[in-house]
Amino acid sequence: MKWLLVTGGSGFIGSNYIEYVLEHDKDTAIINYDLLTYAGNKANSKSVENHERYFFVQGDIANKNQVRQVFETYPIDRVVNFAAETHVDNSIENPSTFIRTNVLGTQVMLEVAQNYWMIGRDALGYPVYKEGVKFLQISTDEVYGTLEDNGSFTEASPLEPNSPYSASKTSGDLLVRAYNKTYHLPVNITRCSNNYGPKQHSEKFIPAMILKALNNQSLTLYGDGKQVRDWIYVGDHCKAIHLVLEKGKDGEVYNIGGDQERQNIEIAKLILSSMKKEDSLIEHIKDRLGHDRRYAINHQKLTNDLGWQPNYDFYKGLEETVSWYIAQKQK
């Protein structure tokens, strides 16, 4: 049995990932380590809570003693670090919690994993680790900053974060890289574009638009609403993460994208039309500070090296997501 520590597994992507792994990888037991902040929801794990290979521990990735306790209790050999503060608007209001969790928390996770996995040193003094261990950092395309109308981010694009959120994620990524270069800790980093799908927190763009449309409230868009994001269905992201965990080459970064560039205003209109409501519900408000204009991801490396492709049709995925939120509201 492989023992996988998933941090932030009660959030949107982490909870979808846990369901994916328990279903597709029968050799893996999962410990979900989550602080259950306002963004974490135990109900996201309802479908797996009684699974024999699922364990839940409530705790903080920035608390070294708590993290050590988890490594003492379970024979963890792999970590997928989803846990993070994730909402850009909150990062503009209160950057410090983002630094604590996304930077300090990542460093604590790396340090504890390194201590528990190290079994000796090689002739040059570099640490040697238990066979098969890996630390996978879940990151974002936002670390690359913003694009004009053309081009896309590759893994070689410069890191130019523009918000406190993306700056904190970039800092986390750089620490993961440093643990690989300095201590030879086996790591990968994945950088994904915007996810959508069931269980996403209502503060995020697509759920917020769906819920406002359902309640006949204004769908507020920052500025002209023509900001472009590359959307990926969360299930496609989960599949890519597990592939990188299993087969990713040591120390490599892999971009993950959905090949679905859409303007925010286009998505708001699609959601309204799926509910047979008028575009007049759309309202433009003052633009967000430091708002990135366009993201687009080039995932050729992951596709060429590991054979991954995004599969989910955007329109089908969006319809299903709308239906999921409608069903939740009726419960």
Indicate which residues carry an active-site annotation.
141-142, 165
Q: Is the CB of 281 or the CB of 297 nearer to ligand NAD? A: 297
211 touches ligand NAD by CB under 6 A: no
**Cβ of residue 161: shortest distance to ligand NAD, in angstroms?**
12
Q: Is the CB of 37 or the CB of 303 nearer to ligand NAD? A: 37
322 touches ligand NAD by CB under 6 A: no
Q: Is the CB of 7 or the CB of 28 nearer to ligand NAD? A: 7
Residue 72, token pair as written in the block: 């003492």
Q: Is the CB of 73 or the CB of 218 nearer to ligand NAD? A: 73
Closest residue to bound ligand NAD by CB: 11
10 touches ligand NAD by CB under 6 A: yes
d(CA 164, CA 86): 10
Size of the site for ligand NAD (CB under 6 A): 30
Beta pairing class for 261-263 and 228-233: antiparallel
Interface segment toward ligand NAD; rule CB under 6 A; list 76-84, 173-181, 206-214, 240-248: 76-84
d(CA 320, CA 62): 36
Half-sphere exposure of 118 (CA within 13 A, CB side): 17
Q: Is the CB of 28 or the CB of 194 nearer to ligand NAD? A: 194
> Could you give phi then psi for residue 285, rounded to 5 degrees?
-125, 175
d(CA 204, CA 85): 13
CA distances from 310 to 150, 187, 230, 260, 300 (A): 21, 23, 12, 10, 11
Buried b (16+ CB within 10 A) or exposed e, 291-327: ebebbbbbbebbbeebebebebebeebbeebbebbee
SS (H, E, C) 134-203: EEEEEEEHHHHCCCCCCCCECCCCCCCCCCHHHHHHHHHHHHHHHHHHHHCCCEEEEEECEEECCCCCCC
**Cβ of residue 194: shortest distance to ligand NAD, in angstroms?**
5
**Cβ of residue 276: shortest distance to ligand NAD, in angstroms?**
27
Q: Is the CB of 129 or the CB of 142 nearer to ligand NAD? A: 142
53, 78, 134, 169: which one binds ligand NAD (CB under 6 A): 169
Question: Which residues between 43 and 62 bind ligand NAD (CB under 6 A)?
Answer: 60-62
Helix (H) and strand (E) counts for the chain?
11, 14
245 touches ligand NAD by CB under 6 A: no
4, 5, 6, 13: which one binds ligand NAD (CB under 6 A): 13
195 touches ligand NAD by CB under 6 A: yes
**Cβ of residue 290: shortest distance to ligand NAD, in angstroms?**
17
d(CA 266, CA 258): 16
4, 5, 6, 12: which one binds ligand NAD (CB under 6 A): 12
d(CA 195, CA 231): 6
Q: Where do contacts with ligand NAD occur on this chain (CB under 6 A)?
A: 7-8, 10-14, 34-37, 39-40, 60-62, 82-86, 101, 105, 138, 140, 169, 192, 194-195, 201
